[in-house]
C-alpha cells in the first residue's frame, strides 16, 4: 500500500516539522481543532483536506508553513460517557484522541505533530487559570449574581448561544431561568474595538463579519429621563428614535426593572403585576426576543411625564422589554414602531403620528400599521416640525442635552461572557472563598489548581467537584485559615480562545506563550472551519487576542487574517412516513421501505432530501471505511473536487468512483513512461524550434500551471483546479503514442514528456499527496515533492500563437485550418466543423464523433 509507505516516510523524515525560518516568509495555516469524540466524520475530512492543500501548496511556494493539530479535549460528552459507561473522562478522552489521531494520520495530512496540544492537560489548562488571574487583576474577570439559563436535564448553566429555540442545544430540554453567582469575562470592555477592527478583516467572509457586528450590536441613541407624574424621581429610557419623542404615548418597563415594586405600591394593579412579573421571569431570553413573541403586558397604575410635551403617559410592564439592554425601560411610540403598535392596539392605548410620510397621507385615526420608515418629515413635534427624521434625531438629541433631560449614549447588544460551569471536565477556576477575606485568588506560583481525578459523577446536582473533599478544602492564601475552593470550572470556549497562540511554542513551560515564537508566526494567515463558529468561538478568540496583547505577550490586534468557512457535507436521506429515517439498506431498489414490506404494506420512501450527515438522519458516511476501500487520495480528491470549499458538498458514490478513476488514469499515464524518463534531465530552451505536437503538449502543461495556481490563489477554487488537472491528463492521453514506451523517442520528446508528467505530479501533490510522491519517485526523484518548488508557467510558451491543424473526415485528409493555440477543445471542434471544405464532405450526413488530437489534427466521423 503506497499510502502507508509515504506516511511512514514523511513521519520518519519529520518532513512536516517546522521551525522559525527567518529567511523564508512564514505562513500559518490553521484548521479548527476537533473535540475528541472518538471518530472523525466527513466534516473533519473536508476541513482538514482543505487546510492540507493550502499548507502543502504554500510550502512549495517557498513559505515556512506552520500547520498544527490538537484537541479541544475538555467538555461535556466525556462526562456523560463517565456517567453512562463508568469510564473516567480522562481515560475516555485519551482513548478517543488515540483513535482519532490514527484516523487523521491515515488521511496523510501534513501536520507538525510535535506541536500537538491537548487542552485537558495541566500544561495547557494551567495557563487558562493564569489568564483568569491576570483578568481578575485587571478587572476583566468578576463575579456577579445573574439570571442564567439552566438546563434541568444536564444540570448546568447554558450560555445564551447554547439555548436553541428555548431548548438545551444538547438534549433539547426546555431551559429554565435561575439566579446564580457566576464568573464573567468583561468582553464588553472590548466591544468598541471588536467592532472597529472588523474593518481590518478583509479576508473574512462578509457573512461572518455581519454576524459578528450584529452580535456586538452597536446602537447610538439617547437616554431620556421621564419624571414620575406622582412623586419623586424619574425613569430613564433608552431610544434610538428620539425623533419620535413627541409620539411617545406610554412607557414600558422590563418585568425585572427595579422600580416596578415602587410603582405598583398601593395600586389596585399590584397583584396582577406581581403575578405577571413572576411568570415572565421564568421565560427564556431567546423566546422573549423572538420576532413572533406574543406581546403581553400590564399597566402599573402609575404615570410618567413625557418631558418634551409635559404630558402624562401610563407606565406599563411588558414581556418584550429586556432588563439587560439599554436601561431596561423604553418609551413606546405606537405610530412608528410595529411592536409598540401591536401593543397599543391590543390594550387600547392612544396612537399619535409624528412622522409624516413623503406623500403626507398618514393619519393617527386610520393608521393600520406602524410607519417605521425614517423618511418624510416631523409633524406635531413643536419646534422640530418639518425636519427630516435624521435631522430631527440630531436636533432633538442636542435639545435634550441642553435642557438637561438626558444624554447621548451608545449601547451594545454584546453581554459579558459568563464562564462558570457546574461541570467536572474543565479548567478549575483558581479562586478560594474565605470567611474572613472573601474572594481570594490562588497565588500564581500555586498554579495549576489541578483537576482532581477522584470525583463522583452522577449527572445530578451542582458541580461534581463539590464531591471531592480534598479538593474542596483549602487554606486561605491571605489569612491561612481554613477556606473553600471554587468548584465551578471554566466554559470550554476559554480553551479554544488561545490554542492557536500555544501552537507557536506548545512546550514553553514558564509562560503561556513564547512571545518570540508568537511574533514569528502570528497572525494566523489562513483559518479554516465551520460556519457554526461564526459568532462565539471567533469572537472569544478575538477578545482573548486583544487581552493577551494588552498583557504584552503578543503584538497582534487580530488573530486570523483570512477565514474560510467551509460548507457542510450533505447526503440524500431516506425517509419513510411510517418508520422515519432509514438506512440505505432498508430501502429496496424501487424505493420501498423494507420494514413496511415486512409488515405487508410497502410504503414508498421519500428519497432525495439532502441533509447534513448525522446519525439521526441515518445518512452518515464513515471516512475510515471509505479510506480502507479507496485510499485517502481518492477521498481527498472527491471532497475537494465535488464543490468549492465554502459551498455544501453533496455526497455521491459516483463522485467517489470518478475521483478513483481519475487517479488511476494519472497512475497509468505516468507509469507508462516513468521508467524510460528516469534519467532524463529536462533542459528545454528553444520553444519555437519544437515540432507542433510537442509545442502543444508544453502549451497545455504551462496553461494548466497557470490555471491551477490562479485557482488556488483565488479563494481556493480547488474544484476548478482539479478540473484543469483532469483536462491536462486527458490532453496527454490523446497526445501519447498508444501502448508505447519511451523507446525510440527523441531526447527532445522525452524532455517534453518528463516536464509534462513531473508537472502533473507536482500539481497533484497538494490534493493527492501519496500517489504524487510515489510517481515522483518513479520519475527518478530522490527527495519528497515537499522539497521541490511549485512550477511557474512560461508566458512565452502560453502566448497565443496560431497552429495549423489537419482536418480529416473519416480518417481522410480534407482540409487544414489555422487556430489560436490556446483555444479550448470545443471551440476547435466547432471551427473544424464550420470549415467550408469540410462542410462539403459532411453535408447531409450525421456527425458521429469529433476527435481532437492536440496540436495536430481533428478527425470528424460521419
Ligand atoms: C422609541 C422608538 C420609536 C424606538 C420607534 C424604536 C422605534 P436597537 O436598534 O436594537 O438598539 N429598546 C430599547 N431598550 C430596549 C429593551 N431593553 N428591550 C426592548 N426594546 C428596547 O433598538 C433600540 C430601540 O429598541 C429603542 O428605540 C427602543 O425603542 C427599543 F419608532 O425607542 B425605540
Ligand atoms: Zn482568608
DSSP state of 174: B
In a domain, 202, yes or no: no
Q: Is 289 in the pocket of ligand 1 (CB under 6 A)?
A: no
pLDDT of residue 129: 98
DSSP state of 844: T
Same-domain check for residues 362 and 253? yes
Same-domain check for residues 426 and 338? no
Residue 89 in this model has a pLDDT that exceeds 70: yes
Same-domain check for residues 380 and 262? yes
For ligand 1, atom 18, the nearest C-alpha belongs to 321
In a domain, 621, yes or no: yes
Q: Is 293 in the pocket of ligand 1 (CB under 6 A)?
A: no
Q: Is 389 in the pocket of ligand 1 (CB under 6 A)?
A: no
**Would you state the torsion angle of the CA atoms of residues 617, 621, 622, 626, taken in this order, to the nearest 10 degrees?**
170
77 by Cβ neighbours in 10 Å (0-12 / 13-18 / 19+) ranks as middle
Residue 610 in this model has a pLDDT that exceeds 90: no
Domain boundary among 455, 471, 490: 490
Could you tell me which of 136, 132, 173 has the C-alpha nearest to residue 151?
Answer: 173
Provide the pLDDT confidence category of residue 607 given band limits of 50, 70 and 90. Answer: low
Same-domain check for residues 337 and 327? yes
Contact call for residues 549 and 193 (beta carbons, < 8 A): no
In a domain, 191, yes or no: no
pLDDT of residue 285: 65
pTM: 0.87
Q: Is 586 in the pocket of ligand 1 (CB under 6 A)?
A: no
pLDDT of residue 593: 83
Burial 571-607 (b: 16+ CB within 10 A, else e): bbbbbbeebebbeeebbeeeebbbbbeeeeeebebee
Contact call for residues 364 and 353 (beta carbons, < 8 A): yes
Which residue segment(s) compose the domain that 584 sits in?
569-630
Cα 67 from Cα 766, distance rounded (Å): 14
Cα 343 from Cα 630, distance rounded (Å): 63
Please give the number of the atom of ligand 1 that sits closest to the Cα of 323.
Answer: 17
Same-domain check for residues 251 and 377? yes
Mutate to test the pocket of ligand 1, among 191, 213, 239, 323 (most ligand atoms within 8 A of CB): 239
Give the chain's domain count: 6
Mean pLDDT (whole number) for 678-682: 88
Q: Is 255 in the pocket of ligand 1 (CB under 6 A)?
A: no
Task: Output the furthest CA–CA distance in the chain (Å, rounded).
Answer: 109
Could you tell me which of 259, 266, 269, 224 has the C-alpha nearest to residue 242?
Answer: 224
pLDDT of residue 288: 74
Give 852's strand partners. Answer: 858
Please give the number of the atom of ligand 1 that sits closest to the Cα of 332.
Answer: 1
Same-domain check for residues 555 and 591? no
Q: Is 219 in the pocket of ligand 1 (CB under 6 A)?
A: yes
In whole numbers, what is the pLDDT of the chain averaged over residues?
A: 92
Q: Is 337 in the pocket of ligand 1 (CB under 6 A)?
A: yes
For ligand 1, atom 9, the nearest C-alpha belongs to 219
Q: Is 325 in the pocket of ligand 1 (CB under 6 A)?
A: yes
HSE at residue 753, side-chain half, CA atoms within 13 A, is: 29
Please give the number of the atom of ligand 1 that sits closest to the Cα of 333.
Answer: 3
Higher pLDDT, 678 or 146: 678
Q: Is 241 in the pocket of ligand 1 (CB under 6 A)?
A: yes
Q: Is 244 in the pocket of ligand 1 (CB under 6 A)?
A: yes
Cα 131 from Cα 122, distance rounded (Å): 14
- Of the listed ranges 108-112, 249-253, 319-323, the least confidently predicted one is 319-323
Q: What are phi and psi of 54, to 5 degrees?
A: -65, -45
CATH number for 661: 1.10.730.10
Could you tell me which of 208, 99, 286 has the C-alpha nearest to residue 533?
Answer: 208
HSE at residue 745, side-chain half, CA atoms within 13 A, is: 19
Share in percent of the chain as helix, strand, coil (round to 5)? 40, 20, 40
Q: How far is the CA of 185 from the centre of ligand 1 (A)?
A: 26
Domain boundary among 349, 380, 412: 412
pLDDT of residue 599: 77
For ligand 1, atom 12, the nearest C-alpha belongs to 330
Cα 586 from Cα 584, distance rounded (Å): 5
In a domain, 574, yes or no: yes
In a domain, 200, yes or no: no
Cα 580 from Cα 609, distance rounded (Å): 13
Q: How far is the CA of 407 from the centre of ligand 1 (A)?
A: 16
Q: How far is the CA of 719 from the centre of ligand 1 (A)?
A: 47
pLDDT in tens, 797-854: 887 667 788 999 998 999 999 887 667 888 888 889 999 999 988 888 888 899 988 8
pLDDT in tens, 154-164: 777 776 656 78
pLDDT of residue 618: 72
For ligand 1, atom 26, the nearest C-alpha belongs to 239
Same-domain check for residues 483 and 500? no
pLDDT in tens, 417-449: 999 988 899 999 999 999 999 999 999 999 999
Same-domain check for residues 57 and 69? yes
Q: Nearest ligand to the C-alpha of residue 439?
A: 2
* Residue where the block lists cell 477554487: 717
**How far does CA 566 lie from the centroid of its chain?**
7
Q: How far is the CA of 469 from the centre of ligand 2 (A)?
A: 19
For ligand 1, atom 11, the nearest C-alpha belongs to 219
* Residue where the block lists cell 455521491: 652
Same-domain check for residues 249 and 140? no
Q: What is the percent of the chain where pLDDT is above 90?
A: 70
- Of the listed ranges 444-453, 597-606, 763-772, the least confidently predicted one is 597-606
Domain boundary among 529, 545, 566: 566
In a domain, 207, yes or no: no
Same-domain check for residues 703 and 784? yes
Mean pLDDT (whole number) for 32-58: 95
Measured over the CA atoms of residue 400, residue 401, residue 405 and residue 407, the dihedral's sign is positive
Could you tell me which of 771, 535, 742 has the C-alpha nearest to residue 635?
Answer: 771
Residue 503 grid coordinates? 501552537
202 by Cβ neighbours in 10 Å (0-12 / 13-18 / 19+) ranks as exposed
Same-domain check for residues 547 and 580? no
DSSP 665-731: HHHHHHHHHHHHHTTPPP----STTS-HHHHHHHHHHHHHHHHHHHHHHTTT-HHHHHHHHHHHHHH
Provide the pLDDT confidence category of residue 460 given band limits of 50, 70 and 90. Answer: low
Same-domain check for residues 159 and 306? no
In a domain, 646, yes or no: no
CATH number for 101: 3.40.50.620
Mutate to test the pocket of ligand 1, among 243, 249, 325, 355 (most ligand atoms within 8 A of CB): 325
Mean pLDDT (whole number) for 728-751: 83
Residue 78 in this model has a pLDDT that exceeds 70: yes
Spatial neighbors of 372 by CB under 8 A, at least 6 apart, are 336, 337, 338
Helix ranges, 514-614 (H): 515-521, 536-550, 594-598
Provide the pLDDT confidence category of residue 292 given band limits of 50, 70 and 90. Answer: confident
Q: Is 239 in the pocket of ligand 1 (CB under 6 A)?
A: yes
In a domain, 88, yes or no: yes
Higher pLDDT, 395 or 166: 395
How many other CB atoms are found less than 10 A from the CB of residue 738? 6
Q: Is 326 in the pocket of ligand 1 (CB under 6 A)?
A: yes
Amino acid at each position: 500500500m503506497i499510502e502507508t509507505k509515504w506516511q511512514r516516510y514523511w513521519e520518519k523524515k519529520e518532513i512536516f516539522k517546522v521551525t522559525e525560518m527567518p529567511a523564508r516568509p512564514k505562513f500559518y495555516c490553521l484548521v479548527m481543532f476537533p473535540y475528541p469524540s472518538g471518530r472523525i466524520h466527513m466534516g473533519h475530512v473536508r476541513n482538514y483536506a482543505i487546510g492540507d492543500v493550502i499548507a502543502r501548496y504554500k510550502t512549495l511556494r517557498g513559505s515556512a508553513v506552520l500547520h498544527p493539530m490538537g484537541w479541544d479535549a475538555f467538555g461535556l460528552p466525556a462526562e456523560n460517557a463517565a456517567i453512562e459507561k463508568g469510564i473516567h473522562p480522562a481515560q475516555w478522552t485519551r482513548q478517543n484522541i488515540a483513535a482519532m489521531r490514527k484516523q487523521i494520520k491515515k488521511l496523510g495530512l501534513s501536520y507538525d505533530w510535535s506541536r500537538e496540544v491537548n487542552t485537558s492537560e495541566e500544561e495547557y489548562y494551567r495557563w487558562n487559570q493564569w489568564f483568569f488571574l491576570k483578568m481578575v487583576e485587571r478587572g476583566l474577570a468578576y463575579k456577579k449574581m445573574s439570571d442564567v439559563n439552566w438546563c434541568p436535564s444536564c444540570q448546568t448553566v447554558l450560555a445564551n448561544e447554547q439555548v436553541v429555540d428555548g431548548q438545551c442545544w444538547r438534549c433539547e430540554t426546555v431551559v429554565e431561568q435561575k439566579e446564580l453567582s457566576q464568573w464573567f469575562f468583561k468582553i464588553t470592555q472590548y466591544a468598541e474595538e471588536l467592532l472597529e477592527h472588523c474593518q481590518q478583516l478583509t479576508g473574512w467572509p462578509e457573512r461572518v463579519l455581519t454576524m459578528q457586528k450584529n452580535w456586538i450590536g452597536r446602537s447610538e441613541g439617547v437616554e431620556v429621563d421621564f419624571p414620575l407624574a406622582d412623586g419623586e424621581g424619574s425613569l430613564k429610557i433608552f431610544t434610538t428614535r428620539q425623533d419620535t419623542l413627541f409620539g411617545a404615548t406610554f412607557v414600558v418597563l422590563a418585568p425585572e426593572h427595579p422600580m416596578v415594586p415602587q410603582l405598583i405600591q398601593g395600586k389596585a394593579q399590584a397583584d396582577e403585576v406581581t403575578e405577571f412579573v413572576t411568570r415572565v421571569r421564568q421565560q427564556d431570553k431567546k423566546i422573549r426576543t423572538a420576532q413572533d413573541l406574543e406581546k403581553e403586558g400590564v399597566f402599573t397604575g402609575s404615570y410618567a411625564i413625557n418631558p418634551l410635551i409635559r404630558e402624562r403617559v401610563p407606565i406599563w410592564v411588558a414581556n418584550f422589554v429586556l432588563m439587560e439592554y439599554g436601561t431596561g425601560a423604553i418609551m413606546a411610540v405606537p405610530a412608528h414602531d410595529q411592536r409598540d403598535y401591536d401593543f397599543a392596539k391590543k390594550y387600547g392605548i392612544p396612537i399619535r403620528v409624528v412622522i409624516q410620510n413623503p406623500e403626507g397621507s398618514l393619519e393617527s385615526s386610520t393608521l393600520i400599521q406602524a410607519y417605521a420608515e425614517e423618511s418624510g418629515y416631523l409633524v406635531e413635534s413643536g419646534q422640530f416640525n418639518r425636519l427630516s427624521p435624521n435631522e430631527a434625531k440630531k436636533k432633538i438629541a442636542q435639545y435634550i442635552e441642553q435642557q438637561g433631560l438626558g444624554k447621548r449614549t451608545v449601547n451594545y447588544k454584546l453581554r459579558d461572557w459568563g464562564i462558570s460551569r457546574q461541570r467536572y471536565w474543565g479548567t478549575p477556576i483558581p479562586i478560594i472563598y474565605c470567611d474572613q477575606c472573601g474572594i481570594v485568588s490562588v497565588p500564581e506560583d500555586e498554579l495549576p489548581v489541578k483537576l482532581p481525578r477522584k470525583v463522583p459523577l452522577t449527572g445530578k446536582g451542582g458541580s461534581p467537584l463539590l464531591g471531592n473533599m480534598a479538593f474542596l478544602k483549602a487554606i486561605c492564601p491571605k489569612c491561612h485559615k481554613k477556606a473553600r475552593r471554587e468548584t465551578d470550572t471554566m466554559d470550554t470556549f476559554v480553551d479554544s480562545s488561545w490554542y492557536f497562540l500555544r501552537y507557536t511554542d506548545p512546550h514553553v513551560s514558564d509562560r503561556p506563550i513564547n512571545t518570540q515564537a508568537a511574533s514569528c508566526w502570528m497572525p494566523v494567515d489562513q483559518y479554516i472551519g465551520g460556519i457554526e463558529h461564526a459568532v462565539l468561538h471567533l469572537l472569544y478568540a478575538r477578545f482573548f487576542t486583544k487581552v493577551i496583547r494588552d498583557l504584552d505577550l503578543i503584538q497582534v490586534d487580530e488573530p486570523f487574517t483570512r477565514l474560510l468557512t467551509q460548507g457542510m457535507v450533505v447526503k440524500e436521506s431516506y425517509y419513510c412516513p411510517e418508520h422515519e429515517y432509514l438506512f440505505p439498506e432498508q430501502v429496496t431498489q424501487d424505493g420501498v421501505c423494507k420494514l413496511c414490506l415486512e409488515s405487508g404494506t410497502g410504503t414508498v420512501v421519500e428519497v432525495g432530501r439532502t441533509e447534513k450527515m448525522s446519525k439521526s438522519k441515518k445518512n452518515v458516511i464513515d471516512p475510515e471505511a471509505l479510506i480502507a476501500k479507496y485510499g485517502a487520495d481518492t477521498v481527498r480528491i472527491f471532497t475537494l473536487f465535488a464543490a468549492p470549499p465554502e459551498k455544501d458538498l453533496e455526497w455521491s458514490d459516483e463522485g467517489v468512483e470518478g475521483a478513483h478513476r481519475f487517479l488511476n488514469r494519472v497512475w497509468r499515464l505516468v507509469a507508462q513512461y516513468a521508467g524510460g524518463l528516469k534519467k532524463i534531465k529536462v533542459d528545454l530552451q528553444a520553444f519555437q524550434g519544437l515540432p507542433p505536437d510537442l509545442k502543444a503538449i508544453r502549451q497545455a502543461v504551462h496553461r494548466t500551471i497557470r490555471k491551477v495556481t490562479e485557482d488556488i490563489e483565488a479563494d481556493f477554487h480547488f474544484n476548478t483546479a482539479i478540473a484543469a488537472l483532469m483536462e491536462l491528463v486527458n490532453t496527454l492521453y490523446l497526445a501519447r503514442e498508444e501502448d508505447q514506451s519511451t523507446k525510440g523517442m527523441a531526447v527532445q520528446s522525452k524532455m517534453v514528456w518528463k516536464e509534462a508528467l513531473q508537472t502533473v505530479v507536482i500539481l497533484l501533490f497538494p490534493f493527492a499527496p501519496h500517489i504524487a510522491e510515489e510517481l515522483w519517485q518513479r520519475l527518478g526523484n530522490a527527495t519528497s515533492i515537499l522539497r521541490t518548488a511549485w512550477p511557474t508557467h512560461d508566458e512565452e510558451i502560453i502566448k497565443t500563437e496560431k497552429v495549423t491543424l489537419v482536418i480529416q473526415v473519416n480518417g481522410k485528409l480534407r482540409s487544414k485550418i489555422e487556430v489560436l493555440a490556446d483555444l479550448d477543445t470545443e471551440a476547435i471542434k466547432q471551427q473544424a466543423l464550420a470549415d467550408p471544405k469540410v462542410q462539403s464532405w459532411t453535408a447531409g450526413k450525421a456527425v458521429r464523433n469529433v476527435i481532437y488530437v492536440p496540436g495536430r489534427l481533428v478527425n470528424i466521423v460521419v
